[in-house]
Amino acid sequence: MRASAPKAYTPYSNWFYLPSAIIYGVLFIVPTFASLYFSLTRWSLFESKFIGLENFKLFFSEPQLVKGFTNTLIFAVVTSGSKVVLGLLLAVLLTSQIVARGYLRSVVFFPVLVSTIGVGITFTVLMNPDHGLINGGLSALGIDGPGWLTDPKYALLSVAAVDIWKGVGLATLIYIAGIVSIPREYLEAARVDGASSWETFRRIVLPLSRPATVTVIILSLIGGLRSFELIWAMTRGGPGFTSDVIASVIYKQYQAGFYGLSTAGNVVLFIAVTAIVLPLSYFLNRKEVDL
């Protein structure tokens, strides 16, 4: 009965798609458009009043916002950059012929498996300026450690350091996969030509693990831009507002009952992440083809 010839053949009837279409519609499309609408209202959960673009105006005039944006960028760039460098170095180490390689590989990956909140709370205790293990160890060496999470100068970077510790395992794993997939012939040819280890790394491993680098940068940059759990568990944006990121600013607005305002903030965050990641992904992927 397939009279309409140009129609592409599909093994399923349209009814087959209905359940997933309904789920997709109810869980994704409706909330997306509802949130666009609610971002234009003053919403108390009990009632909402349409106020046009007021929320966006208010959101952008929020004094925390500038700090939040700067901190988000610092956090994303620092964690993403460190994960690339450390991940690559660790991957080179863990693909070399060292003892207990399998064991070491899993040890690097363990922090990825642990709950973020758990890691956050643990490190909050370790980083306590007076009773924490870290400053305790430093003082045994005669160093007076700073208030890692209570000094406004260090709070954000301390959290970033924990995020790197927790996330570097995934970057390493991606790099290991990338390095292992480099054909052995190249490395052998280089050795025959008398290339030193540094040259092998610089000319072969680094360029050929570009796809891995792209994946690591994009994953960790997106992760860094929308990072929230670790910061919330460790500093709650504090002391004061000094380690606030956009996500924690939005969360605090939501907690305060400014539902319309925080929805507007989420729309802004969505646009900001897209605006940063989309061109970056395009740029990095194009380079890959050029190679």
* Gap between the Cα atoms of 97 and 70, Å rounded: 42
18 binds another protein (CB under 8 A): yes
- Binding another protein by CB under 8 A: which of 4, 9, 46, 102? 46
Q: How far is the CB of 89 from another protein (least distance, A)?
A: 34
In angstroms, what is the minimal distance from the CB of 133 to another protein? 14
Residue 185 interacts with another protein (CB under 8 A)? no
Q: Is 67 in the site for another protein (CB under 8 A)?
A: no
Do 38 and 263 meet the contact criterion of CB atoms below 8 Å apart?
A: yes
* Chain Cα centroid distance, residue 192: 41
Q: How far apart are CA 208 and CA 202, in angstroms?
A: 10
Residue among 3, 130, 140, 185 that touches another protein (CB under 8 A): 130
What is the CB-side half-sphere exposure of residue 101 using CA atoms within 13 A?
A: 11
**Which of the ranges 115-123, 142-150, 173-181, 269-277 carries the binding residues for another protein, by CB under 8 A?**
142-150
**What are 216's two structure tokens?**
């690591």
Q: Which of residues 78-117 bind another protein (CB under 8 A)?
A: none
In terms of C-beta distances under 8 Å and separation of at least 24 residues, what long-range contacts does 114-118 make, across chains too? 114/166, 116/166, 116/229, 116/230, 116/233, 117/229, 117/233
CB of 290 to another protein, least distance (A): 48
Q: What is the DSSP letter of 146?
A: -
Q: Closest approach of Cβ 255 to another protein, in Å?
A: 4
Judged by the rule CB under 8 A, the positions of this chain that interact with another protein are 1, 13, 15, 18-19, 22, 42, 44-47, 49, 58, 63-64, 128-130, 147, 149-152, 236-242, 252-258, 261
